[in-house]
Chain A
Amino acid sequence: MTRNGNTNRVLAVLTLLFSGLAVAFALRLWGRPVVLPPIPLVDPIFTNTATARVSLGLLLQTHGDTSDYDCYTCHDKKEPVKLKLDDQGNVVLPKEHSDLVMGHGSHNRNNNCYNCHDESNLEALQTRDGRHPKLAESSPLCGSCHGPTYDDWEAGAHGRISGYWDRKLGPFVRQNCVACHDPHKPAFPPRAPAPGPHLLHPIAQAAPPQERNP
């Protein structure tokens, strides 16, 4: 055979070899990656920085609907509102205030409206020591009864400060008590948790939760 024939044969073998490799890569015969089921993206409600509650202060800032806070659209400025109490001494609310759920402290310890609201001016608050904070600036009111918590709050240990930890570099916001606590029923309400972790291996994902730890 000629040299030419030899070259052709070698070329043919190489061609076969490379075509084989090409087919193998195209079909991904090796190292075919496990296709993971796509994990659904998390609902943005779990990544927003909103506080648990919309307070009057926030409504005023964002120009929201503050009609609930205009006491004197229904009440008369000259006539103090008398509390209606039942036999146990609990406040009986009219249907106009049915959206208020009272429950401040165990045994309704702090349900008397005028512990906080000012009977002579419903649009203000009153503390036990005679201060009259505005309705939108209620944290000092809470502090008048919850001294130690208030101190922690001022130092930043209770509640939340948002923005800049370095006060030289930017602004910060100390969230008010009522941004997290409903003044009428202040216990922090339970909420739905965000989705838990998914596992890397689809097989492991199918296992019952007890066997998936850690």
Chain B
Amino acid sequence: MAYPPQSPAGAPTPGGEGQSRRSFLRTSAVFASGLAALAASLAPLRHLEDYTSLELFMQKYYKELTPEEMAKVLQRIEREVERQYGVRPHVRDLKPMNGVEFAYAHNLTRCIGCRKCVHACVAENNQSRTPEIQYIRVLRMPHGTLDVDKSEHHYDPKLVPEKGYFYMPVQCQQCKNPPCVKVCPVHATWQETDGITVIDYDWCIGCRYCEAACPYWARRFNWTKPSIPKDRLNPDMAYLGNRPRRQGVMEKCHFCIQRTRAGRYPACLEVCPTGARKFGNVLDPNSEVAYILRTKRVFIQLKEDLGTSPRFFYYFDV
């Protein structure tokens, strides 16, 4: 006698199609988790937009951009800044003014080393707060020497000025003969007709040759992603000036392009409580700097012997 069939006639035998369903499920589970794993392993690409975008990648060299293309670029930057900081900035591309050559003069007799210029510069130029990027380094020098090897910039007394010292802030000297420009392999940094050496942060490849070439330690590199609190962002920006930088590019003092090419004084000058900082157009005989270079007897250019010919002059009041 045959046993009665356990399943209705025609039903698939166990192990027949059941087997194939299980194997189908297994295969697809493996496949799905494989895909998920692939996606997860590509996770670092999520941050790619912090580094580049298609538009940025396709962007032409600054000097070759037509005004229409520049307008598009500025819009892209405004969009990117808004996405990152939630603040819609006003980004301009300010060109050098005709008949203007900038110079800076710093009065070593007046400076008290209070470092207000350092922090006003950070605030104006949207420099990273952690890690800290500062364009101005104030050197404390013992009286009777101009040897920067004897200087100290981590001084931290209760009150300044201290007896026996004078103070010498160093920032980009805007050389007439800039070594940093010569070494740049991609022409991402160049000197403009008003004397400002600028950097195109979108063209910089971060090789840091310029940093090594600068005898004034004036160039700063974004080793990590810069961080600026949203409420401290300065929305008045210029393309070659204070727009936020990305990780992996150089930056430095640019005489506050966004202010000075609009006729205003740089931020470090405005904040100086002693009036030690002087800025202006040397080609204008009535400017403060022209007066100083004409009438003050003692002025020096830092590391004059290197032949860099800075546009930043230090002088003593006598």
Contacts and interface: CB of A to CB of B under 8 A. Distances in A.
Given A191-B114, A196-B115, A196-B153, A15 B37 contact: yes
Contacts, number: 179
Nearest to A209: B154
A210 B24 CA distance: 70
A130 interface: no
Contacts of A50: 273
B40 A25 contact: yes
Interface string A138-180: 0000000000000010011111111111101110000100001
B264 A164 contact: yes
A69 interface: no
B96 to A, nearest CB: 13
Contact of A191 (B112, B120, B264, B291): B112
B109 to A, nearest CB: 10
Main SS of chain A's interface residues?
Answer: loop
Contacts of B278: 156-157
B18 interface: no
A197 B291 contact: no
Interface stretch (B56-64, B280-288, B303-311): B280-288
A162 B260 CA distance: 12
B217 A214 contact: yes
Interface string B42-55: 01100000000000
Contacts of A94: none
A62 interface: no
A11 B38 contact: no
A212 B153 CA distance: 9
Interface in A39-73: 39, 41-42, 46-52
Interface in B137-158: 137, 151-158
Nearest to A170: B263
Contacts of A192: 114, 158-160
Contact of B264 (A39, A42, A160, A170): A170
Contacts of B130: 36-39
Contacts of B120: 46-47, 49
B122 interface: yes
Given A15-B33, A165-B260, A193-B156, A157 B38 contact: no
Interface residues of A, number: 61
Interface string B89-105: 00000000100000000
Interface string A1-17: 00010011001101101
Contact of A194 (B37, B115, B161, B217): B115
Nearest to A194: B115
Contacts of A12: 30
B258 to A, nearest CB: 14
Contacts of B72: none
Interface string B202-243: 000000000000000100000110000100100000000000
A26 interface: yes
Contact of A19 (B33, B107, B217, B260): B33
Contacts of B291: 155-157
Contacts of B134: 197
A52 to B, nearest CB: 5
B38 A18 contact: yes
A22 B40 contact: yes
A41 B129 contact: yes
Given A11-B34, A39-B130, A200-B131, A190 B288 contact: no
16 contacts: A4-B23, A25-B40, A26-B40, A36-B131, A39-B131, A49-B271, A157-B278, A165-B265, A165-B281, A180-B273, A190-B160, A193-B114, A193-B115, A200-B131, A213-B153, A213-B154
Given A47-B123, A169-B264, A180-B275, 4 more contacts: A18-B37, A19-B37, A159-B275, A191-B273
